[in-house]
Structure 1
Amino acid sequence: MVSGVSEVDVAAERARTPGVATGHHFNAAGAAIPAAETVATVVAHLELESAIGGYEAAWQAAPRLDGVYRLAADALGARPDEIALVESATAGWQRAVAALRLQPGDRVLAARSSYVSSALNLLTLERESGIRVEVLDNAPDGGVDLDALDRALRSGPVALVTAAHVPTSSGLVEPVERIGALCRREGVPFLLDATQSLGQLEIDVRRIGCDLLVSTGRKFLRGPRGTGLLYASSALAGLLAPLSPDVRGARWTHEREWVVEPGARRFELWEAAHALRLGLGAALADLAALGAPAVARRLAGLGGRIRTELSQVDGVRVVDPPAAGGAIVTFAVPGTPAGQVRDELAARGVHLVTVPASHGRWDLAARDLPAVLRASAHVYNDDADVHALVEAMREITARTRRAAPRIPAPAEPDPIISVLANGKRAVARPAPDVLDAVVVGLGVHGRATLHELARRGLRVTGVERFRLGHDRGSSHGATRMIRRAYPDPVWDPLVDEAYEGWARLSRDASTSLVRTTGGIYARPPGEPAGLRGPGCEDLTAAGAARVAPALRLTEGWTAVHDPAAGVIDAEAALRAQLRLAVAAGARVREREPVLGWQREGELIAVHTPRARLLTRALVVCAGPWIGSLLPGFAGELTPIRIVNAYFPAATTDLFGPPRLGCFSAELPEGLAYGIPALDGRGVKIGLDTGPAIDPDVPAEPATAAELALLEGIAARLLPGAGRVGESLVCRYTMTGDRRFLVGPVDGQPGVFVASACSGHGFKFAPALGAALADLVLGRPREDLAFLSPARLSERDPV
């Protein structure tokens, strides 16, 4: 045991940690290497059980087992009776949340830092019990937006607020004391996930103000796997009723009556791994001996150094948010899969892990990161470990750059010609920091344009006013439809380009982005002919039933069958576009609204709160905010509210291909559209009409009336689809003739607009990205005249 000191003796910690001899270990956030004494404690108790029996060994170890509660309480600033020993943080979380007995309609506010198991537990309760899970927005520094939390708490009763002190997906440190203060003000329980912080940061539950806390033993505590802690404040614990009481946490008093134990012990189970609990006690004793403040200082220093040194390695992108701190550092190598980098590091004796977006979807997917590499240090890491990590990354990225195909350098900028006072002409070239293009708005069309411009070797920067992957526009959500069926042949060449573009993007991204399902597009009797297209055929209602037996059309209806229709994996497509754009040299600026732009000679100056970007071309793909940057279009674009819903009872076997493909139907309420069950969430149904909205006001969740309307549509078209499950709200930006606006802005050389709007634009993203790149490079695209902003006086839809 190390005696209490003001600073950590790293050499001593390495001497008592045998695992450091096997490599350079940076996975304390996953499972830290235990100290020799902790391992010896576990083994000694197992040997005692083998010698005298499990019950007898537990009786003999009872004083030491009781001491674990005291050690855990000391680490948290709590009382021993407020501590339950559990098998994992997830086990503690699920028992605590179940004991809250949340009711239908109860609101739970969850931070984007929430761990996958916590999020899945809440989403299951939302789907099956009817609670409402509201995911809190982040502030620009990456932590919970405290103003948004304040508004949410004031807007109505809240049953629970939850956040991860430090997430699994980055080095972010949430402002937990300020979250706790807001919750205390409103009398709302605050559940803190301290899985990644206990043993790394100083924790005091009284100062933080959390009512519940869960953590694990295997991470920064350096305890055994299979151990965890649950803290329940004395003020709240007595109000909680465990859903499945156990003989350890309750007493059976009468034939049909029982009472639960006081305090947090009510959450425990009789059966427990006593050897592991004693090992947890040994690890907690180590933390107390070293001193939590000294450990926190040491780990913060290591994390800061790793973050700084990795950011200086060419080819490495540190992706921690500004509010990061402590020992966890996340990074990526654009253009190289995280798993490949992890394996190459392991081959060099450097061990860390990757975190996929599926383990932190509210965070990583929202930041368009399919996975990150996570390095997490502990007290046993020294200078040699850090050097090994940084040098290994330098070697890996250098080799990757040598192996990568060479991207041609952009052509030398055209000269700027000035006429001097003496009549002679002077030639000057743009300064090196002049960009070839700035793309404003990084939804699907902005990303497609950014990718295409970077792929062609141009110096380009994309600017996004919100966080990447936000849900304030039209590009979020899991899936989109693609079809060849369109009402007029003028669309056919662009449709062909779109299909070719998705195939190329799939190849470049090494992933399949489009699944062919076929499509049925139906209209009632008396409606004029609608869609047509290459390879499509007209069907009666009976014919449609043979093609898609899950879809019910009444007698007299007709339909168009498009065998080439399918479903785009929208989330994967957005990630691929951005990843390939960055790999080709594009720069990205998120959470940075464009305040305005102006001409400066032959160049355009784009102003944001943090920069003045000089560029030769400006491409505005800002959706409902186009009018604020290009006022001439403000009266032509109307943002409307659109609601989509999933029907989980409409399962893949009954409502997926081949029984159901993509579909739409002209109904009195509007055009209903749907995507078959493919991903386990059921059929997705929407209606492409809704009220006009202010894009600057965050969308409210779908109302009961909106969901009831979609349930009625599902009952008519898909018998047996059942009730609505999850729902999402998005915006369509509509033009009067429902056609896109794509092309140069009249009277503004070098300025282009792309509003691929009116609800059917996602499918065209690769084609329109290529078209906009052509226009930026001065190549005419007469084939897009029917979408040109110059045709706004026309009102006949095509």
Structure 2
Amino acid sequence: MNTDKIRDDIKGLSDGKIFLNNAGSSLMPTAVVDSMIDYLHQEEQLGGYEVANRNSELLEQFYDEAAKLINCKSSNIAFATSATEAFAKALSSIIFKEGDVVITTVDDYISNQITFISLQKKLNVKIVRVKNLSDNELDLEDLENLIKEHNPKLVAVTHIPTNSGLIQNVEGVGKICKQYDVLYLVDACQSVGQMAVDVEKIGCDFLTATGRKFMRGPRGTGFLYVSDRVLEQNYAPLLLDMRGANWTEYNDYELFKTAKRFEHWEISYASLLGFTEALKYANDIGLSNIEDYNRKLSEKLRKNIQNIGFKIWDQGNNLSSIITFSGSDGDLENIQKVLKENNIFFSVAYKNSALIDFTNKNIHGIVRLSPHYFNTLEEIEKVSEILKNSL
């Protein structure tokens, strides 16, 4: 992995910034942006329909590259405008009835939690959350007991919470869901692009991802993985259009066979093409290589920040390339000021985005740094020194 070459592919680094907000929205490679601009120029001259027809084979590469990324078939992939849209499409394909149970975790993503609460309010669906062990890992024994007790309609887990460096044991959950034949949905919004993600190993029925974060694609892109068994059982989003089915009778339709049934007809093909380039870029480097390098960066940064005297809030045995911290007294303001003054890009999360986790930790918020494979160890040391001098 040639870090110098990778950095040369990023125009956004030319002003000397240190970009550590890849868990928010990363910097795109030049190839991603150029492909989108070129496609839009074609649409400018020929119109969207003609350009889509001329580039049909190229546009189909999206499904191949996404499938390669997570180890599945192209027929299991649907394009989405975001991970949240993909998540909602997956949920809408499940016919929930009053009294049905959704099992999730205390470290689920805010939008997912709000969606479940919405189901609770509108359909009287019950939300049950799995306990964490003392080391903050998922209590798989508790999960199994909850499945036996509630016979849930769905188990849903966020692979990496947006507010913490924790990597949840999605493979362990998958084995239990398979044992009890329970539908299993994984939000891989923060893990896809950061580390190797294999749906065969996870054993999920649905998996959602975004383009804008560690995948380094454009905003307004994402994908949904749908397993063969779910497709064969004719799961489909509640509101279909002609992308999802063939109109066969006045009052009937026939579902298309692939996960494309979860798409809508009208999408931004320029964005899809840009996301395809981002997928190719990551696949060419190799997600195992990216994961190994990211682990070195994040472990070094997390250790440095802790040794300086800041409070690290990442808890778990398996941590990701998301580092969350605050001042020893919980202060965030001075940290933000120093980072901004030194052109270091970061993010902040407050209690309303991680209500259960931050309540349990008794904190009101965190500063989040999220290095990625285009960052260097020299940058990590520079940021650490800047934070040290701020105390």
TM-score of the two chains, using structure 2 as the length reference: 0.97
- Supply the AA of the counterpart residue of 2:62: V
Residue 336 of structure 1, CA deviation: 5.4
In structure 1, what is the equivalent of residue 267 of structure 2?
A: 272
1:30 lines up with 2:24 in the alignment: yes
SS for the counterpart of 2:111 is: helix
1:353 lines up with 2:347 in the alignment: yes
Higher strand share: 1
Aligned equivalent of 2:92, options 98, 106, 111:
98
Residue 238 of structure 1, CA deviation: 3.4
SS for the counterpart of 1:85 is: strand
SS for the counterpart of 1:95 is: helix
SS for the counterpart of 1:312 is: helix
1:226 lines up with 2:220 in the alignment: yes
Contact persistence 2:177–2:184 (CA under 8 A): yes
Contact persistence 1:247–1:269 (CA under 8 A): yes
Matches of 1:268 and 1:339 in 2, distance apart? 42
Provide, for residues 480-508 of structure 1, a one-character-per-residue CA deviation record: whole Å limited to 9, x for no partner.
Answer: xxxxxxxxxxxxxxxxxxxxxxxxxxxxx
SS for the counterpart of 1:147 is: helix
Residue 141 of structure 1, CA deviation: 2.2
Contact persistence 1:170–1:324 (CA under 8 A): no
In structure 2, what is the equivalent of residue 662 of structure 1?
A: none
- Supply the AA of the counterpart residue of 1:346: K
Looking at CA atoms only, which structure, 1 or 2, has the larger radius of gyration? 1
- Supply the AA of the counterpart residue of 2:362: D
Gaps of 5+ in 1: 1-7, 399-798
Residue 21 of structure 1, CA deviation: 2.5
Provide, for residues 211-249 of structure 1, a one-character-per-residue CA deviation record: whole Å limited to 9, x for no partner.
Answer: 100000011110111000100101012331321101111
Provide, for residues 494-537 of structure 1, a one-character-per-residue CA deviation record: whole Å limited to 9, x for no partner.
Answer: xxxxxxxxxxxxxxxxxxxxxxxxxxxxxxxxxxxxxxxxxxxx
Which structure 2 residues correspond to residues 525-604 of structure 1 after superposition, within 5 A? none
Aligned equivalent of 1:212, options 206, 218, 225:
206
In structure 2, what is the equivalent of residue 404 of structure 1?
A: none
Matches of 1:80 and 1:339 in 2, distance apart? 46
Contact persistence 2:84–2:111 (CA under 8 A): yes
Contact persistence 1:112–1:362 (CA under 8 A): yes
Contact persistence 1:296–1:326 (CA under 8 A): no
1:54 lines up with 2:65 in the alignment: no
Matches of 1:207 and 1:148 in 2, distance apart? 21
Residue 47 of structure 1, CA deviation: 0.9
Aligned equivalent of 1:86, options 67, 80, 84:
80
Higher helix share: 2
Matches of 2:146 and 2:264 in 1, distance apart? 36
Contact persistence 2:167–2:316 (CA under 8 A): no
Aligned equivalent of 2:14, options 21, 36, 45:
21
Contact persistence 1:116–1:359 (CA under 8 A): yes
- Supply the AA of the counterpart residue of 1:46: L
Which structure 2 residues correspond to residues 221-620 of structure 1 after superposition, within 5 A? 221-239=215-233, 240-314=235-309, 316-335=310-329, 337-396=331-390, 398=391
In structure 1, what is the equivalent of residue 2 of structure 2?
A: 9
Contact persistence 1:114–1:362 (CA under 8 A): no
- Structure 1 runs (4+) deviating above 4 angstroms are none
Q: How many residues align?
A: 389
Matches of 1:340 and 1:262 in 2, distance apart? 55
Matches of 1:30 and 1:52 in 2, distance apart? 35
- Supply the AA of the counterpart residue of 1:199: G
Residue 340 of structure 1, CA deviation: 4.7
Residue 52 of structure 1, CA deviation: 1.2
1:77 lines up with 2:71 in the alignment: yes
- Supply the AA of the counterpart residue of 1:98: S
Which structure 2 residues correspond to residues 744-755 of structure 1 after superposition, within 5 A? none
Aligned equivalent of 2:39, options 32, 39, 45:
45
Residue 338 of structure 1, CA deviation: 2.4
Larger RCO: 1 or 2 (CA < 8 Å, sep 6+): 2
Residue 335 of structure 1, CA deviation: 3.4
Provide, for residues 287-334 of structure 1, a one-character-per-residue CA deviation record: whole Å limited to 9, x for no partner.
Answer: 1110111011000111111111111112x1111003242311111113
Contact persistence 1:87–1:226 (CA under 8 A): yes
Contact persistence 1:139–1:146 (CA under 8 A): no
SS for the counterpart of 1:172 is: coil
Contact persistence 2:255–2:261 (CA under 8 A): yes
Residue 348 of structure 1, CA deviation: 1.1
Matches of 1:335 and 1:362 in 2, distance apart? 20
Matches of 1:341 and 1:350 in 2, distance apart? 11
Matches of 1:61 and 1:362 in 2, distance apart? 47
- Supply the AA of the counterpart residue of 1:294: N
Residue 394 of structure 1, CA deviation: 1.2
In structure 1, what is the equivalent of residue 62 of structure 2?
A: 68
Aligned equivalent of 1:128, options 117, 122, 125:
122
% identical aligned pairs: 28
CA-atom RMSD, angstroms?
1.3
Gaps of 5+ in 2: none
Matches of 1:166 and 1:56 in 2, distance apart? 41
* Distance change (3 Å), C-alpha of 1:276 and 1:343: farther
Contact persistence 1:24–1:388 (CA under 8 A): no
Matches of 1:339 and 1:82 in 2, distance apart? 45
In structure 2, what is the equivalent of residue 107 of structure 1?
A: 101
Provide, for residues 3-24 of structure 1, a one-character-per-residue CA deviation record: whole Å limited to 9, x for no partner.
Answer: xxxxx21111111112123300
Residue 364 of structure 1, CA deviation: 2.2
Compare 228-237 and 338-347 and name the one that shifted more.
338-347
- Supply the AA of the counterpart residue of 1:61: N
Matches of 1:36 and 1:338 in 2, distance apart? 34
Matches of 2:95 and 2:250 in 1, distance apart? 24
Contact persistence 2:330–2:363 (CA under 8 A): no
TM-score of the two chains, using structure 1 as the length reference: 0.48
Contact persistence 1:350–1:388 (CA under 8 A): no
Compare 234-243 and 178-187 and name the one that shifted more.
234-243
